[in-house]
Amino acid sequence: MSLDNLRRRLAKPKTSIQLCLLGIGAGLIAAVLIILFRLTILLVQGMFLDSPDDFTTLPEHQRVLLPVGAALLIALFASLTGFKHYRLGIPFVIYRIKQHYGQMPIWNSVNQFFGGAVALISGFSVGREGPSVHMGATGASILAERLHLPMNAARTLAGCGVAAGIAASFNTPLAAVIFVMEVVLREYKIHIFVPIMLAAVTGALATQYVFGHDLELSLISVSTLSFWHYPFLILCGFVLGAIAFAFNQNLMMIIKTFKPISMFPRLMLAGLLAGLIGYLVPEAMGSGMSAITIAVETPGELQLLTTILIAKLLATIFAIGLGIPGGIIGPVIGLGVLIGTLMAYFAQFISPEVSVAGTYGVLGMAGLLAATLHAPLAALTAVMELTSSPQIVVPAMIVISCAYVTALQVFGNRSIFLQQLDFQGLPYQVSPAKEALQKVGIMEEMEEGFKLLYSDDKEQIRETLSAIDSQTPLIVYDEEHGYRLAEYDLSLISEQSMTITYIELQGLSTQATLADAFDILKDKRSGAVYVYNQKDNKQIMGLLRWDQIRHILTMRNSLL
């Protein structure tokens, strides 16, 4: 199949072998980037740590100097590449997918790779999924750009890159798919779902090939809970919802408070605070695995776990709030396990004969993830995959439901990603009409049976109109007026003459979607646009009228 035929095929909002193969390709590119990212972190940490993400064995002065030096490196690199390229992470990816079909600026991604790697190597309390999502979307964006694919397909491939990035980061392909649909794209459509699913599988398989099959929470032992635990689980859900609200509120408060301060001193302050916390509580450093390990090994040490929890909360809020490049999901998982393990202290009185610390640790993670990110289904699937324990499903559903509803209805909590986007002034909401039209490439609906005339001579235009079929559009071009649609004005037809009317045309490339045409024509609710080859704007490929867009919105919208 030629590239032109491929592009035409992808302009249709339907599942196709071609789109699935491209989804796999995007997933593979994303997986390679994330594998390189993870290997960089592991190799560098291996030079000074006994085990990855465990900073407890470092001398005190190194725990202080490491984050400070890392913050300086991040700030210097960001200043060299330009702080304007410092919008990073999942919120920025959501914005680019919603407003720019997932096209990712390269320098932002370079900042994300370097800054995210340095932050994770040096023990900042951030997750690797933020850089993974950003780089996954970038890899897919590069593929779509190189092949000059229609923007509706580029948008789908961006979702594929995000899914592969999360799957390659946590080895959770199903949770990755649900996360993309629930948080990033915020819609469920079959023709989008299938390639994203294949991309997630590709990301997970590539990760398993390099890093093995071990899951993040495989060290946690999950036991079956009796019915008598369920009332307490409801209470735990309420508490987790309240904590999620407090976490989001305090994180946004830090972001808003330090916004007037320039980026360089902000990053240096983040480094100093991380160094201070690392000096006092080294277990709070890192993405969260160190805290999870301690919670699993010493579930009865309430004072230690409480100290780590408080320190981890502060470390996470200040690191992300002050602009350290990293994700929020990794630390939230660690915090959730700590909170759940502390709750297990009270749950053990319900069934003293069974160890429930691991089970409650997993449930704490699920509830906090669901309420913080507004992603209940993604949290549930993540728990199922990370533990490989079917007996956790019903308790997790109870905790997630209670935590999510409590955070949403009692406290009015919103997704932390959307709060960040609102504060940054990055639009992410798209009207239902435009969202439906974004799924269809303009090549799918354009009229190709047109006549093109390079002349402004009225008699020649009149003769051409008389010679062609009444259903064939006539596009005329001259230097003064550009491209115009010429047609008889049916309201002014007389026996003596037929008046010609002209409609000015704006051009769109064959990569555009119907949403781009809608933006041009929506004010007048009439007119048309011409479609040109993206490689040669002088080659006219077709014509799209407002009536065609209106028909799709009124008659076929439900199909999209």
Q: What angle do helix axes 89-100 and 416-424 make, rounded to 10 degrees? A: 70
Q: What is the mean pLDDT of residues 501-523?
A: 92
Residue 22 pLDDT > 60: yes
Looking at residue 368, its pLDDT comes to 97
Residue 558 pLDDT > 60: no
DSSP three-state, residue 476: strand
Looking at residue 212, its pLDDT comes to 85
Looking at residue 187, its pLDDT comes to 83
Residue 217 pLDDT > 80: no
* CA pair distance 24, 214, nearest whole angstrom: 23
pLDDT tens readout for residues 523-532: 888 889 999 9
H-type alpha helices, 298-373: 302-321, 329-347, 357-373
Q: What is the mean pLDDT of residues 149-169?
A: 94
Looking at residue 557, its pLDDT comes to 59
Looking at residue 151, its pLDDT comes to 95
Task: Give yes or no for a contact between 179 and 117, defined as CB atoms under 8 angstroms apart.
Answer: no
Task: Give yes or no for a contact between 283 and 291, defined as CB atoms under 8 angstroms apart.
Answer: yes
From 7-16, 20-29, 232-241, the region with the lowest mean pLDDT: 7-16
Residue 415 pLDDT > 90: yes
Task: Give yes or no for a contact between 202 and 31, defined as CB atoms under 8 angstroms apart.
Answer: yes
Question: Which long-range contacts link 350-354 to residues 24+ away (Cβ below 8 Å)?
Answer: 350/226, 350/228, 350/229, 350/232, 351/225, 351/226, 351/228, 351/229, 354/223
pLDDT tens readout for residues 341-392: 999 999 888 888 888 988 999 999 999 999 999 999 999 999 998 888 888 9
Show the beta-strand stretches assigned E in 159-317. none
From 135-149, 271-285, 498-512, 544-558, the region with the lowest mean pLDDT: 544-558
Residue 215 pLDDT > 80: no
Looking at residue 497, its pLDDT comes to 60
Residue 235, amino acid:
L
Q: What percent of the chain has pLDDT over 90?
A: 61
Show the beta-strand stretches assigned E in 400-554. 451-453, 474-478, 482-488, 500-504, 506-509, 528-533, 536-545
| Cα dist from 340 to 82, 243, 297, 358, 366, whole Å | 42, 12, 14, 8, 9
pLDDT tens readout for residues 320-336: 999 999 999 999 999 99
Q: What percent of the chain has pLDDT over 70?
A: 96
Computed over its alpha carbons, how large is the radius of gyration of the chain? Answer: 28
Pairing of strands 474-478, 451-453: parallel
Task: Give yes or no for a contact between 538 and 422, defined as CB atoms under 8 angstroms apart.
Answer: no
| CATH architecture assignment, domain 444-559 | Roll (3.10)
Residue 90 pLDDT > 80: yes
Give CA torsion, residues 328, 72, 57, 289, to 10 deg: 10
Q: What angle do helix axes 129-146 and 106-121 make, rounded to 10 degrees? A: 150
Higher pLDDT, 446 or 218: 446
Q: What is the mean pLDDT of residues 148-158?
A: 94
- Cα–Cα nearest to 234, from 379, 409, 403, 354: 403
* CA pair distance 84, 101, nearest whole angstrom: 20
With residue 481 as reference, give the H or E element that holds it. Answer: none
pLDDT confidence tier of residue 277, bands split at 50, 70 and 90: very high
Backbone angles phi, psi at 447, to 5 degrees: -85, 125
The hierarchical CATH code for the domain 3-429 is 1.10.3080.10
Looking at residue 491, its pLDDT comes to 64
Looking at residue 85, its pLDDT comes to 65
Residue 119 pLDDT > 90: yes
Using left for φ > 0, alpha for ψ between -120 and 50, and beta otherwise, residue 89 falls in: left
From 19-23, 435-439, 463-467, the region with the lowest mean pLDDT: 463-467
Higher pLDDT, 212 or 362: 362
* CA pair distance 250, 230, nearest whole angstrom: 30
Residue 446 pLDDT > 60: yes
- Write the CB contacts of 194 (distance below 8 Å, at least 6 apart in sequence): 15, 20, 23
Backbone angles phi, psi at 127, to 5 degrees: -100, 160
Task: Give yes or no for a contact between 160 and 47, defined as CB atoms under 8 angstroms apart.
Answer: no
Pairing of strands 482-488, 474-478: antiparallel
- Write the CB contacts of 234 (distance below 8 Å, at least 6 apart in sequence): 398, 402
- Write the CB contacts of 84 (distance below 8 Å, at least 6 apart in sequence): none
pLDDT confidence tier of residue 496, bands split at 50, 70 and 90: low
* CA pair distance 537, 188, nearest whole angstrom: 35
* CA pair distance 364, 372, nearest whole angstrom: 12
* CA pair distance 111, 88, nearest whole angstrom: 8
CA 382 to chain CA mean position, Å: 16
Residue 141 pLDDT > 90: yes
Looking at residue 492, its pLDDT comes to 56
Joined tokens for residue 204: 């997970």
Q: What is the mean pLDDT of residues 114-127?
A: 94
- Cα–Cα nearest to 102, from 71, 133, 61: 133
Average pLDDT, the chain: 90
Delimit the domains of the chain by residue range.
3-429, 444-559
- Write the CB contacts of 257 (distance below 8 Å, at least 6 apart in sequence): none
Looking at residue 560, its pLDDT comes to 52
Looking at residue 389, its pLDDT comes to 84
Joined tokens for residue 383: 């728990």
The predicted model scores a pTM of 0.91
Determine whether 202 is exposed, middle or buried from the number of CB atoms within 10 Å of its CB (0-12, 13-18, 19+): buried
DSSP β-bridge partners for residue 127: 327
Please give the span between the terminal C-alpha atoms of the chain, in angstroms, as a whole number. Answer: 26
pLDDT confidence tier of residue 290, bands split at 50, 70 and 90: confident
Task: Give yes or no for a contact between 375 and 181, defined as CB atoms under 8 angstroms apart.
Answer: no
- Cα–Cα nearest to 116, from 28, 41, 51: 41
pLDDT confidence tier of residue 126, bands split at 50, 70 and 90: very high
pLDDT confidence tier of residue 91, bands split at 50, 70 and 90: very high
Joined tokens for residue 89: 């992470």
